[in-house]
Structure 1
């Protein structure tokens, strides 16, 4: 029976790999996995937040009661992203200009079981991503000579995590846990680079290959456009599989207080590959498309260190705090793109990013109002990982402050609904210009996230 349940869970995990992405808020990472954690500011290191806790600290699985739990859920994210051209005053707004992006949703599914001192779980979760869509008619699609190219600027990244986790209670006070995770990531990207952006990248030695000189021979070159997207609600232009994992521990200091720690390993991913089209735009507006294959090289999710504490102030009232360090600097120095045209010729580009490592403080509280109702709230603050001078309009992963609210409602003694609402406060960032922006731009980004889970125990 158990093997059948695991097989069903794994099959559902495979199906969710093609679902559209929820846009992330800790750069490419979601601010808490599952509605319980999300409602409490993303805290999850030293408390029971349900099956989603295996993606933060797998040792928390041992806090569940003996028996099994199954959970299904859904994230829904709506974004508010504006990019203003500081030279002309024009604004490009990310919205639903096609079938690829926004509003964003991602499913969650998990199964856990505890038998005495041993607990384990398997699931499938959207670990993070991003998404924008500015359409074909904004200033972001305008060439060097003022030509409106009609070429799209958009993005969609989904990172799916499929953990197999286990925890073991060594004694009444000390618990250890670990997980081994299969990971899938997929990317859609449409990006127009104006000629002065291409020239700036060449000047920095970031463009090479046989097609680079060919671009220089295009009469009155307006710019170059990469398209590696599937214009549908499902699927990605390029994708790859890989793996990661984490270690965790939990220690009970007193009956009211627990401390925990976990370490998430940097993901090991194959290069994302797929079909793409490189389009050169000439001075008269004519377009020369080159179809081929493209690779996004060495695109990985970072390592992360978490420490946390939870404390029960009264039988009804609990508080929690997590402190995290995310090592973005090790994985996001450049976005490396390698293109090979079907008719011959290649082009390699390194787009500078130079992310900083990020520190995150999460605070949360919960209050048991009645046997049926539990109320939650939280706040989350992160340092800024992105740099203004390398900001892309299609990668505006800038929010750093979040306020969250939520509740649990017991439908029966064995089932409950968990809900969370999270608001990312508007963040503003400027890019002074080339190479990642044609003109000086100002990006403003806020968003709202709703998460709902249904959990049944048996």
Structure 2
């Protein structure tokens, strides 16, 4: 009876881990790609952004100088995340305890060629690479039910890789059109503990079905359930999938000094994220009952986004940009589905399906940037961006994942050597207001407050030939 009750309580927990790392994708999109967009805090959809235009607005490949360009860039996210238990006043800080959970180096490599009225580009971009590592000894590894210090890991990581191929066409003297097709890989690591109270709440809300979720009775001694889908690898996740994505863009040269642009990024078409992992039931005496199996997040995609931007050359040395971006997270991760099949042992072949309200909001972000070139060698850029909405609603905020960094300030400087070689150095500071979850819900039993700020140094190199 004890084993049967435990396995029926396991089902709803898997999906709760889905929200562990999705903030990373929005983070990467806000901060931009390539030295120019990075210097504008992620903006520049209507501006000449070099080879990085293939992942921003492919039409802007035609704003590059004729000929070839090669770009390589590396940024390193150094996050400072803390979560406070408002009942016990314990604060847990993210750390670099794991082999692959921080700092996060995001490489970008791209090549482009511009002809007279057409352009081509291809590249590899780390579209996200972010996570958390809280170790095994904090309140996030301790159940509220029975106050059991489980010693189980609390961590998470997401990696998203895009490999785009882009074409651009000069349709009219003042109109540029472009499109890109991406090969996309998404990898997710999750190690999260959920209290027995959270499990029962999910069951009471009818968000679980299948052989493992038909609740006959609750095990009185159950304290919590731990979910572990972690692949200790620099790129691959415990759950991963491949697919395609892409974007289209158009730029209109309103005047010699001003251009307007529109770009639309399609939601990805990825396979279900699959991987082998372990669920561990823990009782109030800290006895562990592991259940190995195969997990699958169904139809988890990167969201569609729409961007409108303007670029204006105020003088021969000064340019300014403004972008407005809308990212449609609500459709993709308002709810999420997870299925699980136990493999081996007492639970071999048992299946379950679960649905969890992750509470993601659509995000509107505004970006402003400026560029100053005092001479032919030096270019200085600065930008700021602000996300109007909080990505996850308060009641869905969990200590198992970081909050969105809603505000970004960026500066960078580029030096051109021998008219071919450009070196850029820059830094981003990002922060967000505290996010509060009042507790006693499926995301957290104790009331919690989360904060996140980070510094991201960036170095890049561009070669024109």
Count of residue pairs brought into register by the alignment = 438
- Correspondent of 1:370 among 371, 375, 381: 375
Counterpart-to-counterpart distance in 2, 1:97 and 1:121: 38
Counterpart-to-counterpart distance in 1, 2:216 and 2:98: 29
Scaled by the length of structure 1, what TM-score is found? 0.92
Aligned to 1:303: 304
Deviations 1:418-443 (A, max 9, x none): 22311112421011122011211000
Counterpart-to-counterpart distance in 1, 2:352 and 2:84: 30
Counterpart-to-counterpart distance in 1, 2:76 and 2:129: 13
User: Alpha carbons of 1:328 and 1:23: their partners in 2 closer, same or farther (altered >3 Å)?
Assistant: closer
Aligned to 2:386: 381
1:431–1:441 Cα contact (<8 Å) kept? yes
Aligned to 1:454: 461
TM alignment of 1:26-425, pairs within 5 A: 26-27=26-27, 29-143=29-143, 144-212=145-213, 218=219, 220-342=221-343, 343-383=348-388, 384-425=390-431
Report the alpha carbon displacement of residue 372 of structure 1 after superposing the two structures with TM: 1.1
Deviations 1:329-350 (A, max 9, x none): 1101123221111023123332
1:39–1:377 Cα contact (<8 Å) kept? yes
User: Alpha carbons of 1:68 and 1:123: their partners in 2 closer, same or farther (altered >3 Å)?
Assistant: same
2:106–2:129 Cα contact (<8 Å) kept? no
Q: What SS does the aligned partner of 2:31 have?
A: coil
Unaligned runs of 5+ residues in structure 1 are 1-20
2:39–2:383 Cα contact (<8 Å) kept? yes
Report the alpha carbon displacement of residue 49 of structure 1 after superposing the two structures with TM: 1.3
Counterpart-to-counterpart distance in 2, 1:349 and 1:420: 44
Counterpart-to-counterpart distance in 2, 1:419 and 1:318: 19
1:29–1:129 Cα contact (<8 Å) kept? no
Counterpart-to-counterpart distance in 1, 2:337 and 2:135: 24
User: Alpha carbons of 1:452 and 1:22: their partners in 2 closer, same or farther (altered >3 Å)?
Assistant: farther
Counterpart-to-counterpart distance in 2, 1:151 and 1:214: 26
User: Alpha carbons of 1:22 and 1:370: their partners in 2 closer, same or farther (altered >3 Å)?
Assistant: farther
User: Alpha carbons of 1:450 and 1:141: their partners in 2 closer, same or farther (altered >3 Å)?
Assistant: same
Counterpart-to-counterpart distance in 1, 2:100 and 2:60: 36
Report the alpha carbon displacement of residue 129 of structure 1 after superposing the two structures with TM: 4.5
Counterpart-to-counterpart distance in 1, 2:221 and 2:27: 37
Counterpart-to-counterpart distance in 1, 2:44 and 2:266: 17
Counterpart-to-counterpart distance in 2, 1:431 and 1:146: 20
Scaled by the length of structure 2, what TM-score is found? 0.91
Q: What SS does the aligned partner of 1:26 have?
A: helix
Deviations 1:64-86 (A, max 9, x none): 11111111111100001000001
